[in-house]
Amino acid sequence: MATIKDVAKAAQVSVATVSRVLNDTGYVHTDTKTRVTQAMQELNYFPNEVARSLFNRESRLIGLILPDITNPFFPQLARGVEDEIHAHGFRLLFGNSDEDREKELAYLQTFKQNQVVGVIAVTNEPESDMYNDDLPVVFLDRTVPNAPSVFADAATGGKMAAMELIKRGSRQITLLKGPAHLQTARQRFKSALDVLTEKGVDFHVMSNASFSFQEARKSAKALFQLYPETDGIIASNDIVATAVIHEALRIGKAIPDEVQIIGFDDIPQSELLFPSLSTIRQPAYDMGKEAAKLLIKSIQKQPIDQSVIQMPVSFIERETTRKVDSQ
Amino acid sequence: MATIKDVAKAAQVSVATVSRVLNDTGYVHTDTKTRVTQAMQELNYFPNEVARSLFNRESRLIGLILPDITNPFFPQLARGVEDEIHAHGFRLLFGNSDEDREKELAYLQTFKQNQVVGVIAVTNEPESDMYNDDLPVVFLDRTVPNAPSVFADAATGGKMAAMELIKRGSRQITLLKGPAHLQTARQRFKSALDVLTEKGVDFHVMSNASFSFQEARKSAKALFQLYPETDGIIASNDIVATAVIHEALRIGKAIPDEVQIIGFDDIPQSELLFPSLSTIRQPAYDMGKEAAKLLIKSIQKQPIDQSVIQMPVSFIERETTRKVDSQ
DNA sequence: TTGAAAGCGCTACCAT
DNA sequence: ATGGTAGCGCTTTCAA
C-alpha cells in the first residue's frame, strides 16, 4: 500500500499538503490539488486508518456485543445497527458474548484497545463497571434506568398478549415464564399477569428457565399434562411458542380452536410455521437502527432529545389465534 | 487509558523495558519485571492495539464479508468463524455486502485500511481483482478453483437429494432451479438432474431466480398448477422448500404421502417446520470454523496441507419424505 | 540488563 | 499557499 509520503513525492509536494487535500482542510492551490489527486489515483492511494486512529486517539470502528448471532432475534438487530453505522462511515467490530461476563469483558477490553468510538451492547450487565467510563455506550434490548438505550415496550407487550387472548375467547390461560434474569421477559410476564388477574381470568404459570428449543419442548409437554384444560398459552418468546405448537400438534390439540397460542418477538420464522404464529412483534431491525443513531449522535456530540428510547410493539395476527369479528 | 509511558514512569524504567516485559522479549531482571507488572496493574494498563498495529503494519483483526446476516444460513457460518478466530486472539470486522459489488469493494477497502491480517468472504466475485493482492483470503461457500476455500460438496448433495426421493418412491419429480449466479446452486441442480436422467425418472424443471420466500411462494404456486402430478420436489434450498410446504398444505396435498419435499442447507428452522423438513445438510458452523482455521494457518505461515476444503453433506431425514424399511 | 532514539503513517501547529 | 516537524503509543535496533 502506498503511503502519504509516496504521494507527496510523486506530486512533488510535502506530506502536509497531501494531508490537506486529503482532509480538505486549510489552503491549497487548485493546481496543486489536481496534481496531488492525480498522484493519489495513480498510486491507488488510500489513507491508513490505523495511523489516523492513532493520531486522533479514536478509530472509525463501533463495537457490537451480542449474546449469540445464532439466536434468530439478533441478526435483525445486528443488521439494523450495521446499516445505520455504515451509512455514517463507521465499521463494525463484532463479538458474541454467550452471556458470559468474562467473554463480554474481554471483548469490551479489546474494543477499547482498538479505540472504538462507541459500543452497542445487548448485555445482562449494563450496570457493570466495565461500561462505566467515558466510552459512549448504547444498551440494546436489555438496559438499566436512565442509561442511553433502546428497547421494546415490554409492559404493553405483555398486556397485549393477554388482552388478545381473552378477546379471542381463551378462559383458561397458561403463562410460560421466561428466564428470570431477563428484565424484558419479567416485565412481559408481569403485565400479562396483571391483566389476567384484573379480568378475573383463570390462569396457571409455568416456568421455563431458558429460551432454548429443547428446554421449551419439555415445558410444553409438561404444560399439557399438568393443565390439559388450558385453552390459551402466552409463551415467553417465539422459540418457546414454536415448541408449544409442536407439542399441541403432536397430542392432537386443534390450534386455534382448542388452544390459542401467542408468542413474543416475531422472529422471521414465526411467519413460516404451521400454523403461522400470532405474536407480539418487537421491531428488531428498527431497534438496531435507532440504537446506532443514538450512539452516533452521542459520538458526534449532537444534541440528544431522547436517550432512552422505547419502541412500540404490535400484535401480529396470524393463525394461532382465532378471528374476532370487530376489533 | 494509561500508556506505556505512564507505566514506565511509575515503574521507574524506560518504555523499552516496559515493552520487553509486555512482549516477554529480551532480557529483563526479575525484580524489574515485578515492578513493571505491578505498575501495569495499578494503572490498569492495556497496550494500545492501534499503536501496535501501526508499528507491525498489521492488526489483529480479521474481516468477514457476508451477503446478509439476516439470511438464516449465515449466522451459523459467522459463528463458526468468530469462535475460531476468537480462540486465536483475533477479532472480527464484519460487513454485509448484499451481494453488491460496490459495497463489497468498499468493505474490503476499509478492511485493508484498517490493516486486517486476513479476510473471509462469501462472495460472487472471488476472481475479482479486489481479492487479487497479498492479503490472505479464504472464500467460503462460493469459490473459484484452486483458491483457498471451504465449501460443501454440492455435487454429492444434489445426487443425494435425487436418490433419496427416488428411493422413497417419487416417480414424477420437479426440480426447482436456484439462482443461476450461484455455482453451488447450479452444481446441486446439475447433479440431481444427472441422477434423474440416468435413472430414467420423469421430471420437470422450474426456475426460481431468487432465494427469497416471497419469490419462492410464487414458484411453488406455479409448480403445483403446471405439474399437478408431481410427487417429489427438490427445492433449491430450505427457504424455497418451506414455501413449497406451505403451498402444498394450502392446496391440501398430503406430505409426504402425495408429494415428498427435500431441501438444501438444513437451516435451524427447518427442524421446526410442520411437517419438519427433510434436507441435505451443509455443516455451516463447521464450514465457518474450517475457513477460519485455514486463514489463520495462512496468516501464521504454517504449512497448509489442504487449501481447498470440501465439506461433506448429509441427508437429514425428517417428515417431508417417506420412510423406507431398509436403507 | 537497561535506555535512547528512530520510525510505523498520519495530522496539526508553526513558520515562511 | 506551502513545508518542516512534533507527536499519537508502540516496538526494535543499537549502545552502553
Cell numbers found for residue A265: 418477538
Does A79 reach chain B within 8 Å, measured CB to CB? yes
- Mark yes or no for CB contact A92/B91 under 8 Å: no
Q: Which residues of A touch B249 (CB under 8 A)?
A: 274
Nearest to A273 among B50, B96, B272 (CB): B272
Using 50 as the pLDDT threshold, list the residues of chain B that sit under it: 327
Cell numbers found for residue B200: 430414467
Within a domain: A321: no
Cα–chain-centroid distance for residue B264? 14
Within a domain: A326: no
Q: If pLDDT is split at 50, 70 and 90, which confidence band does A1 have?
A: confident
Q: If pLDDT is split at 50, 70 and 90, which confidence band does A212 have?
A: confident
**Do B115 and B27 share a structural domain?**
no
CATH number of the domain within which B257 lies: 3.40.50.2300
Chain A residue at shortest CA distance from B57: A50
Q: Does residue A42 have a pLDDT over 90?
A: yes
Q: Which residues of B touch A283 (CB under 8 A)?
A: none
User: What is the tally of structural domains in chain B?
Assistant: 3
User: B276 burial class (0-12, 13-18, 19+ CB within 10 angstroms)?
Assistant: middle
**Do B128 and B12 share a structural domain?**
no
**Among residues 197-236 of chain B, which lie with CB inside 8 Å of chain A?**
213
Structural domain span for residue B117: 61-152+284-314
**Do A32 and A124 share a structural domain?**
no
- Mark yes or no for CB contact A274/B246 under 8 Å: yes
Cell numbers found for residue A18: 497531501
Within a domain: A322: no
Nearest to B76 among A70, A76, A93 (CB): A70
Placement of cell 431466480 in the chain? B209
Placement of cell 515493552 in the chain? B19
pLDDT tens for A222-263 read 999 999 999 999 999 999 999 999 999 999 999 999 999 999
Does A50 reach chain B within 8 Å, measured CB to CB? yes
Cell numbers found for residue B43: 494503572
**Do B261 and B210 share a structural domain?**
yes
- Mark yes or no for CB contact A110/B91 under 8 Å: yes
Residue A209's pLDDT is 78
Please report the number of interchain residue pairs, chain A to chain B, with beta-carbon separation below 8 angstroms: 128
Within a domain: B325: no
Residue A327's pLDDT is 46
Q: Which residues of B touch A130 (CB under 8 A)?
A: none
**Do B79 and B15 share a structural domain?**
no
Residue B205's pLDDT is 96
Does B2 reach chain A within 8 Å, measured CB to CB? no
SS3 call for B198: helix
Burial letters B246-271, b for 16+ CB under 10 A, else e: bbbeeeebebbeebbbbbbbbbbbbe
Cα–chain-centroid distance for residue B187? 17
Q: Give the whole-angstrom CA distance, residue B4 versus residue B55.
A: 15
**Do A109 and A25 share a structural domain?**
no
Within a domain: B324: no
Residue A326's pLDDT is 57
Closest chain B C-alpha to A10 CA, distance in angstroms? 21
User: A29 burial class (0-12, 13-18, 19+ CB within 10 angstroms)?
Assistant: exposed
Give the distance, in angstroms, between residue A33 CA and nucleotide C14 C1': 22
**Do A78 and A191 share a structural domain?**
no
Nearest to B274 among A72, A114, A273 (CB): A273
Nearest to A274 among B91, B94, B249 (CB): B249
Q: Are A136 and A117 in contact (CB under 8 A)?
A: yes
A53 touches strand C (CB under 7 A): no
Q: Helical H runs in chain A?
A: 4-11, 15-23, 30-43, 49-56, 74-87, 101-113, 154-167, 183-199, 213-226, 238-250, 284-299
Within a domain: A46: yes
Does A1 reach chain B within 8 Å, measured CB to CB? yes
Q: Are B113 and A111 in contact (CB under 8 A)?
A: no
**Do A188 and A306 share a structural domain?**
no
**Do B177 and B107 share a structural domain?**
no
- Mark yes or no for CB contact B50/A54 under 8 Å: yes
pLDDT tens for A113-171 read 999 999 999 999 999 999 999 999 999 999 999 999 999 999 999 999 999 999 999 99
Residue A211's pLDDT is 85
Placement of cell 427416488 in the chain? B166
Closest chain B C-alpha to A31 CA, distance in angstroms? 28
Q: Give the whole-angstrom CA distance, residue A260 versus residue A165.
A: 7
Chain A residue at shortest CA distance from B60: A114
Chain B residue at shortest CA distance from A45: B113
Nearest to A75 among B75, B86, B92 (CB): B75
Question: What pTM does this model have?
Answer: 0.96
**Do A162 and A147 share a structural domain?**
no
**Do A302 and A212 share a structural domain?**
no
Does B49 reach chain A within 8 Å, measured CB to CB? yes
Within a domain: A325: no
CATH number of the domain within which A30 lies: 1.10.260.40
Cell numbers found for residue A79: 443488521
Within a domain: B37: yes
Residue B327's pLDDT is 46
Helix (H) or strand (E) holding A138: strand A137-140
**Which of B39, B56, B73 lies at the terminal end of a domain, its last residue?**
B56
Alpha carbon distances (Å) from A229 to A173, A232, A259, B102? 9, 9, 9, 58
> How is residue B270 annotated by DSSP?
G
Give the distance, in angstroms, between residue B4 CA and nucleotide C3 C1': 15
pLDDT tens for A69-107 read 999 999 999 999 999 999 999 999 999 999 999 999 999
**Among residues 88-127 of chain A, which lie with CB inside 8 Å of chain B?**
91-96, 107, 109-110, 112-115
**Do A130 and A167 share a structural domain?**
no
